[in-house]
Amino acid sequence: MTRLDVRDVTVRFGGVTAVNAATLSADGGQVTALIGPNGAGKTTLFNVITGLQKPTAGRVFLNGDDITQTPTHRRARHGIARTFQRLEAFGSLTVEENIRVAADAIRSKNARPSRVTGDLIRRIGLERYAHARADSVPTGVARLVELARALAIDPKLLLLDEPSSGLSETETEAFGKLLRDMAAQGRAVVIVEHDMTLIMRVSDRIHVLDRGVLIASGTPAEVQADPAVRKAYLGEDGDSAVDVDEHSSPTLVMPEATTEAESGSWF
């Protein structure tokens, strides 16, 4: 069974510590959520796991093998795939070609790349957009293109960075089911998401980051009850930021601005 271990990972950008000695894990067959306010270091941690960012300290293990120094493309061959918070679809290619690039990259023994592509287009529901250029489709669709593209390499560990933003309520519901299906196939699914309703519904485990520090880990119920989590999200006084939805669990509303620590280093 797949297992990801992140041990004592620290990432510093100049004077800013984006991730501070974070240790967490994710197992195959489960949906693991990584939550926290903007600037908590979630995307940076994804970048470390995929090798796009070298950690200042700490190590990353996949099934017990140390992959900290492994280049990004080799990690992908070991079964790590991801989507991006800020879209990275291949804008000049069609939706179908986007998925085909991935299907070609790691040729599956069982299926031809064209078949893998066709199956994924149907499964994710992208038929309508298959021949449209990826830079011309709505944001929510482009996120699904990235998901289909990641699935095309048949990953053991799938990292999804805010995949549901841009999706409608119905689409999000279907998306939640898709997440559970992917875990049921034995994949380790790690998701960064701000939609707490979705997170609480689909996650097996939740890790909470705040300003680069892991402040809590546990089941959705445990995390919701954790005072440190409530403090991180609501502030000292516990005012304002809870939206209690009539039909579901509380939604924690995140501040919109992204901090320099999370996005600045890439530009």
Phi, psi (degrees; rounded to nearest 5) at 100: -65, -35
Q: Give the x/- contact pattern for another protein in 71-110, rule: CB under 8 A.
A: xxxxxxx--xxx-x-xxxxxxxx---xx-xxx-xxx----
Q: Give the x/- contact pattern for another protein in 135-174, rule: CB under 8 A.
A: xxxxx--x---x--xx-xx--------------x------
Burial class of residue 32 (count of CB atoms within 10 Å of its CB; 0-12, 13-18, 19+): buried
Among 16, 21, 52, 234, binds another protein (CB under 8 A): 52
* Nearest partner of 174 among 133, 140, 128, 210, judged by Cα: 140
Going through 101-177 in order, the beta strands assigned E by DSSP cover: 157-161
Q: Does 233 bind another protein (CB under 8 A)?
A: no
Least distance from another protein to the Cβ atom of residue 97, Å = 5
Burial class of residue 71 (count of CB atoms within 10 Å of its CB; 0-12, 13-18, 19+): exposed
Least distance from another protein to the Cβ atom of residue 175, Å = 16
Rounded Cα–Cα distance for residues 2 and 49 (Å): 14
Least distance from another protein to the Cβ atom of residue 52, Å = 6
Q: In what order do the strands lie in the sheet with 80-82?
A: 80-82, 157-161, 188-192, 31-35, 205-210, 213-218
Q: Does 59 bind another protein (CB under 8 A)?
A: no
Q: Does 214 bind another protein (CB under 8 A)?
A: no
Residues that bind another protein (CB under 8 A): 47, 50-52, 71-77, 80-82, 84, 86-93, 97-98, 100-102, 104-106, 113, 132-139, 142, 146, 149-150, 152-153, 168, 263, 265-267
